[in-house]
Amino acid sequence: MLLAGAAGIMLSVRINRILLAEESPVLCARLRHTLAQMAPHADIHVSASVEQTRRELLEWRPVLAVINFTLEGGGVASLLNDIRLFPVAPFVLGVTSNGSRADTVLAMRCGFSYVIDKPFDLGTFEQAVLQTVSSPMSLASSINRIVSPLLYSDDDELDLKKLTAEIETLIFKMAIAITGSKKGLGRLLGISRQLVQYHLKKL
């Protein structure tokens, strides 16, 4: 159960698109309110089903996604099996009440930055969100996903489109960590994207 009284943590203005995937209307409303307080500058989309969550991730490309392991139409496993989805969002927080350890491990391998178990109070939720956007695990998992196919796959087995997306996501996470201005972030991303595309053509 969520308790009233949040810790008042504010997210960076760079976290400007947030997806909240939660099937319980009551819990969704409370979490959305907390996220809106943490990021008053952000556009927050809400989803209750697996299919809607999949569409939001692919088409809207949120910066932060908070995803319940159980949604209408299935669980987190059906999302994790879609290799296009992760790491679409740079930062992903998983919420579980009875999720298996296997699901949690798979979620972390697929790009989830952090997982929190129900029940929790709003202060704990805020800390989990903060941990998600600052966790080195998100960088480490991105690096692992990029390096592994380059080391162990033949050239004709490489999915260059997916690899490009993963490298750009990694660049985005690194840029958030090292730059303090939106202008600097945009410039860094633009230059990095050109370098990524140039080098991938040589693979």
> Do 35 and 18 touch, CB atoms closer than 8 A?
yes
Q: What is the pLDDT of residue 119?
A: 84
> Do 86 and 92 touch, CB atoms closer than 8 A?
yes
C-alpha distances in Å from residue 174, one per residue of 54, 99, 108, 137, 157: 25, 30, 18, 12, 27
The CATH number that domain 17-134 falls under is 3.40.50.2300
Per-residue model confidence as pLDDT tens for the chain (203 residues): 333 334 457 787 678 899 999 999 999 999 999 999 999 999 999 999 999 999 998 888 888 999 998 888 877 777 777 755 655 577 889 898 766 677 777 777 777 888 888 888 888 899 889 888 876 555 555 555 555 555 555 656 666 666 666 666 666 666 555 444 555 556 656 665 665 665 566 55
Ordered DSSP codes for 136-199: HHHHHHHHHHHHHHHHHS-GGG--HHHHHHHHHHHHHHHHHHH--SHHHHHHHHHHHHHHHHHH
Between CA 136 and CA 144 the distance in angstroms is 12
Q: What is the pLDDT of residue 79?
A: 78
> Do 94 and 76 touch, CB atoms closer than 8 A?
yes
177: how many CB neighbours lie within 10 A of its CB? 11
pTM of the full structure: 0.65
Between CA 168 and CA 194 the distance in angstroms is 10
- H or E stretch at 50: helix 50-55
Between CA 173 and CA 56 the distance in angstroms is 20
Coil/strand/helix, residue 32? helix
> Do 64 and 17 touch, CB atoms closer than 8 A?
yes
Give CA torsion, residues 37, 41, 42, 46, to 10 deg. Answer: 50
Q: What is the pLDDT of residue 114?
A: 84
Q: What is the pLDDT of residue 3?
A: 33
Q: What is the pLDDT of residue 149?
A: 54
Q: Is the peptide bond before 87 cis (omega within 30 degrees of 0)?
A: yes
Where are the chain's structural domains? Answer: 17-134, 137-200
